[in-house]
Amino acid sequence: MTELKNDRFLRALMRQSVDVTPVWMMRQAGRYLPEYRASREKAGNFMGLCGNPEAACEVTLQPLERYPLDAAILFSDILTIPDAMGLGLYFEPGEGPKFKKTVRTEADVDALKVINPRQDLPYVLDAVSLIRRELNGRVPLIGFSGSPWTLATYMIEGGSSRDFRRAKQMLYNTPEVMHRLLDTLADSVIAYLNGQIEAGAQAVQIFDTWGGALAHDAYAEFSLRYMKKIVAGLIREREGRRVPVILFTKGGGQWLEALADTGADALGLDWTTDMAEARRRVGDRVALQGNMDPTILYASPERIREEVARILDSYGSGPGHVFNLGHGITPEVDPEHAGAFIRAVHQLSGAYHT
């Protein structure tokens, strides 16, 4: 077991003391980096990167060569599970992910099987092992998955959606069918994340990207319920350390107390939730991750620094804060602005950890 040279990210998730607030970015290996664009062109397409462990390792490490980030995150996609279920994931330029097959009937749901990650997604687990080896203890490695509800929306709609019409039609008309689908997906996510942990992931995040599209009661029944099941089924200790779990529901600020009761170690916040208010509501039950508006990175480095200072002050002193964007960094961001953001977090946050 290689000793971690920088463990402040894991320490912050466990609400332990750190010297400065750790920082990483959702989608930190992405199209805003010219080196990533070159790797993607060489691979031919996005799935060519995801499906090749060496290429996935290369792009995972690229942002760490540029910036003093406190964590690496596996380069993959949340839709690998539906792809492994036989739905045929592909990407249309400028249109996002699509599936060749959809899941819209009871028969479609009943035909799905819980995945075996070692058999069905070996390239992901091989990438995790390779990345962990190449990191050599520099920073921790984050594994991830989509939430069952988020995965279900793509599987039912056949891709992205503005109104989730077909998914909500199944939810309201045949809730028992939707529950069977979500149960199968939850069991698959448990197996998938445990596979990543066994391969070397030192923390995991569940991306509930579309949970905020649900009505209040529907969120509890069709999203939160299954994330709680996943948290209960995960390996929570490995290599003598806790394996922290982060839950991130985009648009989920109204459910922070319920999310904190799932057994997760940390909650991700988007930019619509005030950091001070979130901390007041969850107390010391969980760490908080976030929550800068990604579009602030289009502003000047001086303005970015001001926003970092504001969020640090909003959280206040003490442990339990991982600085991040409120969602993924966007392709048009100047890499120098991302660097200014990361430097500002490290330079300004020490005063909150004396």
Binding residues for substrate: 27-31, 77, 154, 209, 327
Per the annotation, the verdict on 236 as an active-site residue is no
Q: Which residue shows structure tokens 């991750």? A: 289
- Residue 11: both structure tokens together: 């320490």
SS3 track for 237-264: EECCEECCEEEEECCCHHHHHHHHCCCC
User: Which are the contacts of 10, defined by CB distance < 8 A and separation ≥ 6?
Assistant: 4, 140, 202, 203, 241, 242, 244
- Dihedral over Cα of 40, 46, 290, 197: its sign: negative
155, 105 in Cβ contact below 8 A?
no
Per the annotation, the verdict on 123 as an active-site residue is no
For residues 269 and 275, give the distance between their C-alpha atoms in angstroms, rounded to a whole number: 8
Of 31, 118, 241, 285, the active-site residue reads 31
Of 8, 11, 15, 40, the active-site residue reads 40
Q: Which residue shows structure tokens 């500002």? A: 344
Per the annotation, the verdict on 27 as an active-site residue is yes
Of 66, 77, 90, 352, the active-site residue reads 77
Per the annotation, the verdict on 31 as an active-site residue is yes
- Residue 69: both structure tokens together: 């980030």
Amino acid, res. 284:
D
For residues 336 and 189, give the distance between their C-alpha atoms in angstroms, rounded to a whole number: 36
For residues 81 and 114, give the distance between their C-alpha atoms in angstroms, rounded to a whole number: 9
Per the annotation, the verdict on 138 as an active-site residue is no
Strand partners, 323: 23, 290
Beta strand 266-268 with 245-249: parallel, antiparallel or unpaired? parallel
For residues 202 and 140, give the distance between their C-alpha atoms in angstroms, rounded to a whole number: 6
Of 27, 166, 238, 241, the active-site residue reads 27
Of 32, 154, 219, 226, the active-site residue reads 154
Q: What are the residue numbers of the active site? A: 27, 31, 40, 77, 154
